Amino acid sequence: MSTNNGFQNESTPAELKAIEYSLAELGERERALAPAGLEARLEASTRHMLMAEDAPVVIARIGHRLSLVAKLRIAASVAIVGGLAAVFLSNGPSSSLSPIAARSLEEDMNYVLELRSADEGLAAMGDKIDTLFMDTSNVGDSLKTDPATTLLEGAT
Amino acid sequence: MGLLTEPRLPQPVSEDQSAEVAGLLEAASKGDQAAWRDLIARYGRRIFALAKSRCQRADLAEEVTQSVFATVAGKLGRGGYTEQGRFESWLFRVAMNRIRDEMRRLKRQADPTDPASFGGVPTRRSVESVEGVMLDKLRAAMMELPDQDREVVELRHHGQMSFKEMSELLNEPLGTLLARHHRALRKLKQIMGGEESEGES
């Protein structure tokens, strides 16, 4: 390869020149056979990106960064709140409130049971009084109908 | 092979060209559509040819090319690019990354592709001419190269990059890239068999 074509440091051995030229031809053909209208499509699809200096892109960039920061903040907040809630639920309520509540409930239940048993006793006593009253009334009635008793009453 | 009368091998970018590209980039960053069109005209087909050689599909290659220029336009539009004489290296780095992403996506989809079939399907031009047949064979032979060697060949001949630019792009010493290129040429010559020497004579 000659030195006047810019390849002084890129020389190719003589026996390989032919294959190199063939590769150059292949590359040339691949470029030439690019689809029709390639450049027009490239321009059409990228034109708006080149004009992005009018500010929307800047806004988009800032928005993008803020959204990332916001996402990170939200994630951190959720993690902190969730952690605190988990600690509160697992330790707080059971250790401080349950003994008092349990004791109070137990006392209430005992009181109710005592009242119930007392009430049951009073009810039985009432039944016995009623029975005694009925017996007394029967005896009284039977005496009213007895002739001897009538005689005694007339004598008086 | 003797296929070419005037082979157009890639030339290193001159200072004048660099200054010209820098001017276009500055104008395009200010919304100059003509400058942007000029940049697309200079680099669009180079990126497309590189992507097509890697993906072997024109539709994917165009998608990749559009994605690359969208990245560049976005960067220019936001004033996020400062030209320091390395636009081409940056542009092709973006392209190579997009191509790699696309190749990974294709592999994930597990679309069965037999490399040999790429060269086996005759195109219209391969039917038309002997030269076309030879180029189709060469295209198929490239598929047999190790990936690193193939990458250098494609950047060089499809992307039209100089070795200096490739060195900046791939972050590899110039000598390493030259060695890879020579090794690839030898391998291709070997794959192509005796046709090379016959064509030469």
ipTM of this complex prediction, to 2 decimal places: 0.76
Tell me the C-alpha to C-alpha distance, in Å, between residue A41 and each of A36, A37, B76.
Answer: 9, 6, 19
Residues 6+ apart with CB under 8 A from A58: B78
Q: Provide the pLDDT confidence category of residue B122 given band limits of 50, 70 and 90.
A: very low
For B52-106, the pLDDT digits (tens) are 998 888 999 999 999 999 999 988 888 777 777 788 889 999 999 999 998 888 8
Yes or no, beta carbons of A46 and B73 under 8 Å apart:
yes
Q: Please tell me which residue, A67 or B50, carries the higher pLDDT value.
A: B50
pLDDT at position B45, please? 95
pLDDT at position A124, please? 73
For residue A42, the chain B residues in CB contact (below 8 A) are 40, 44, 65-66, 69
Average pLDDT, chain B: 81
Yes or no, beta carbons of A19 and B188 under 8 Å apart:
yes
Q: B80 CB near a chain A CB, below 8 Å?
A: no
d(CA B186, CA B198): 16
For B137-177, the pLDDT digits (tens) are 888 899 999 999 999 999 999 999 989 889 988 999 999 99
Partner residue opposite B163 with nearest CB, options A10, A23, A51? A10
pTM of structure: 0.60
Q: A2 CB near a chain B CB, below 8 Å?
A: no
pLDDT at position A55, please? 42
Q: Which residues of B127-143 are buried (b: 16+ CB within 10 A; e: fewer)?
A: eeeebbebbbbbbbbbb
pLDDT at position A3, please? 36
pLDDT at position A65, please? 56
Residues 6+ apart with CB under 8 A from A11: A1
pLDDT at position A148, please? 62
Residue of A100, A94, A23 whose CA lies nearest to B8:
A23
Is the separation of the CB atoms in B174 and B164 below 8 Å?
Answer: yes
For residue A46, the chain B residues in CB contact (below 8 A) are 36, 40, 66, 69-70, 72-73
For residue A36, the chain B residues in CB contact (below 8 A) are none
For B9-40, the pLDDT digits (tens) are 676 667 777 788 888 998 888 888 999 999 99
10-residue mean pLDDT profile of chain A (156 residues): values are 40 83 90 90 87 48 60 88 87 60 77 75 74 81 67 55
Please give the distance of CA B78 from its chain centroid, rounded to a whole number: 27
> Which of B:29-68 have CB within 8 Å of A?
29-31, 33, 36-37, 40-41, 44-46, 48-49, 52-53, 58, 62, 65-66
Question: Chain A residue closest to B188 (CA)?
Answer: A19
Is the separation of the CB atoms in A31 and B65 below 8 Å?
Answer: no
* Residue pairs between chains A and B whose CB atoms are closer than 8 Å: 158
Per the structure block, which two tokens stand in for B3? 């296929």
Residue of B105, B120, B118 whose CA lies nearest to B150:
B118
Q: B143 CB near a chain A CB, below 8 Å?
A: no
